[in-house]
Every structure is written in structure tokens, then in C-alpha cells.
A and B are shown apart, each in its own frame.
Chain A
Amino acid sequence: MTTGQKFSAGGGHGAIPLEGVSTGLGEPPQPEWPLYEIFVRGKRGLNHVHVGSLHAADDEMAVRHARDVYTRRNEGVSIWAVRADLIVASSPDEKDPLFDPAGDKVYRHPTFYDIPANVPHM
């Protein structure tokens, strides 16, 4: 047998071809509903945690869609939907200089200090 084509089983639900498949990269994107990042509070006492993103026409629809997509099994008690373009992020190019100041301050960690083993509750 010669299939003559390359396949990957990596695609979850089954073998998918790897050759002659267009990736769509480099083509202009069409206008779509805005992207929202979704944060879910799993239960009381926990922070909201980022779970993924989705598109919605407006804020209200974003919360409804988030409920259907990310909380089908009681995964949350509260949802935040945030327009992705409103999020301010640190730049990946600057990540080294940005986080540098914390790099050499080992004295901020409790393990920096030698305490005799017989001192209790410390």
C-alpha cells in the first residue's frame, strides 16, 4: 500500500492530511464579531480564572455564550467577559527587562533565611 500523502493522527478525532492543505495564514481576516476573553470563578472563595475566548456581537451575548461554552457542567458561579482589545498586556519583547528587577532579590523568599531547626512554628 502506498498512500503517497502525509497524515497525522494528531488531529484528535482522527487522521488528517498534512500536505496540500491550506493554512489560511497571511490572508486578510474578514470583519467578525469582537473577541472576548472569558474568566470563570469556579466556586466561592476562588479567583476568576481565564478559561478561553469566544466571539459575540455584544457584552450580553458574550456572557450567554460563555455560559454555554465554558460552564456546561457547573464549572462556575460567576463569569467575566472582557473585550480582548481592552486588555493591556506586558510586551513579550520586553519580558526579560520587565521582570529583571525581581530576579536578584532572593531575600524576598522565606527560604533565604537560616533558622535553627529546633525553633518551632517558623
Chain B
Amino acid sequence: MSDTLQTASLEADFDRVIERHDRIEPRDWMPEKYRATLVRQVAQHAHSEIIGMQPEGNWITRAPSLRRKAILLAKVQDEAGHGLYLYSACETLGVTRAELTEKLIAGKQKYSSIFNYPTLSYADVGTIGWLVDGAAICNQVPLCRTSYGPYGRAMNRICKEESFHQRQGFELLLTMMSGTDAQRAMVQESVDRFWWPALMMFGPPDVESPNTAQSMAWRIKRDTNDDLRQKFVDMSVPQAQALGVTLPDAELRWNEERGHYDFTQPDWDEFMAVVKGSGPCNAQRIAHRKRALDEGAWVREAATAFARSQREDAS
């Protein structure tokens, strides 16, 4: 059989698997573009989990009680775990974690723009759990059914853990809202800052994302940016009411006809600027990641040397 004929038949097999809503597994043949799209998406997702530890990690030493400190530590540790599940899923596509980390530090691969905003008050820990992990859940639940097996399985584990993240954040805010006026003001100020970046987490409007079609056809992606954003707004409004905070959008109101809330789009120019590197914390996040990598080098080298000497002793 000629090479082109063989590729055509492999491609037909691949298409049939996708059509049946079945999963592609690591050693299956796949189109190079499918593989490249996945590497990019899963790597950038993994980077987001790892960089995402920094804004909240900022408050671990200053959490107001041992209970809150233990919760925050567990939450940040979960995010490290999420990063590891995803890096290992990505490695099944033929890349190494070291290589991906190198690309992150060199700025050749990105992470979610939300983590380029600073955490200025302790209330931000609650707001991130409620809104940022809440938005992540909207994005992630459909990904459990993504067409690439290892990615879907990693998402399954992640989704099981995210619910704790959102609930601990909401409960933290609820506690502050039943405190003093100053505490309530802190929560409102934090929600005012994070609402718009949280809406940006779903990406630009669908008319600006024509490529979505290919990812949807391959069932890598399952919903459009606008659908996910609307879902997030609809679920956040009653939560904000229960909390007693005001979402900072004067146009936010129920639309009887659509059966959804109408809302204002976030500032997409700001989004682009943050993605391009001029967000408030871009440089700081990458510098910190690089420092952690450099300062950990001797530990990895020592472990490698120890393993080698153990092997040599045994033989």
C-alpha cells in the first residue's frame, strides 16, 4: 500500500472513532494537527494550574487562623496536583515536562490571563475560589468528555477536586459578609476587581474565535466561549445575591425572552494587553516560576545521584 493510501485509511479510522464519540488513546494514529492542538492546550492548561498557585500561595503565611491556613494549603497543593495530572497527560503525546516548563519560562507557551492579576487582600482568596474556580468548573466539566482519553481522565480527577475549591471560597466570603462593615467592604472591593477578569477566562466572543470549529469537530472542545460565559453569569447572579454582594455591572439583568441574564462584555483590549505580557503580574509570575525551578535544581540532582549510588551498591 502506498504511503498516501495508508494515511488515508488511518485518517478514516481516526474519524470513525471521533464520530462514534469514542476516545483516542496515546498509541493510536492521529493527525499531526490534532496532536499539536492538544499539546498546546493541555500544556497551557497545566501551566495555568502551576502558575495559579502563586496568587493564592501569597496568603498562606498570613491566613487568619490555623483552619484557614490548612484549607488554603490543601487548595494550593491540589492545584499542584492538577498541574501534574495534566503534564503527565501531555507527555503521552510525545513531549517532556522539562521541555514544556522551558517553553513556559521562555514565554513560548502561555497560561490563563487571570493569574496575572494580584491578590491584594485576603478576601481575594475567597473570591478566587468562588469566581475563578467557579469559571474553571464551567470550562472543565465538558472537558471530561474530550476526545483524547488521557486528557479526559485528568479532567475527571480535577473536576472531583474543584468543588472543594469553590465551596471553601464561597464559605470564606460568607463568613466575612457576616462580620464587620469593613470586612463586607473588603469582599465587595475584591469582587469588583475579579468579576471582569473572571468573564475573560472564557476567551473572546465566538465571532472572534473562528478556529473553535476545528476543535469542536475533533471534540477536543465541547462548548463555545459565549455559551460557557453565559452559563457562568447565570449561575453567579443568584450566588452573589445569597452572598449579599453586588456584581459590578449596571447592565446586568434578567432577560425573560432569552431566559438568561444580559450582561456587559469585559474590556477585551485589557485582555489582549494582559495576554501579550503587560498585565500587572506577568513578569513576576514567570520570574517566580524560574526561581523555583533554579533553586530546586540541586535537590533534583542530589536525588538523581542518590538513586545512582543505590543502584551501584546493589549491583
Contacts and interface: CB of A to CB of B under 8 A. Distances in A.
21 contacts: A1-B269, A7-B203, A9-B221, A9-B225, A10-B215, A11-B41, A11-B44, A13-B132, A16-B110, A21-B108, A23-B40, A23-B43, A24-B39, A24-B99, A25-B36, A33-B304, A57-B306, A58-B311, A61-B303, A73-B161, A92-B27
Interface in B190-207: 200-204
A6 B204 CA distance: 9
A1 B303 CA distance: 51
Contact of B221 (A8, A54, A72): A8
A72 B208 CA distance: 40
A3 B41 contact: no
Nearest to A20: B108
A87 to B, nearest CB: 12
Nearest to B154: A52
A89 to B, nearest CB: 8
B85 interface: yes
A3 B136 contact: no
Interface residues of A, number: 42
Contact of A17 (B110, B200, B201, B228): B110
B248 interface: no
Interface of B: 27-29, 32, 35-37, 39-41, 43-45, 48-49, 52, 74, 77-78, 81, 84-86, 88-89, 91, 93-100, 103, 108-115, 132, 135-136, 139-140, 143, 153-155, 157-158, 161, 200-204, 208-212, 215, 220-221, 225, 228, 268-269, 271-272, 275, 300, 303-304, 306-307, 310-311
B36 A23 contact: yes
A30 interface: yes
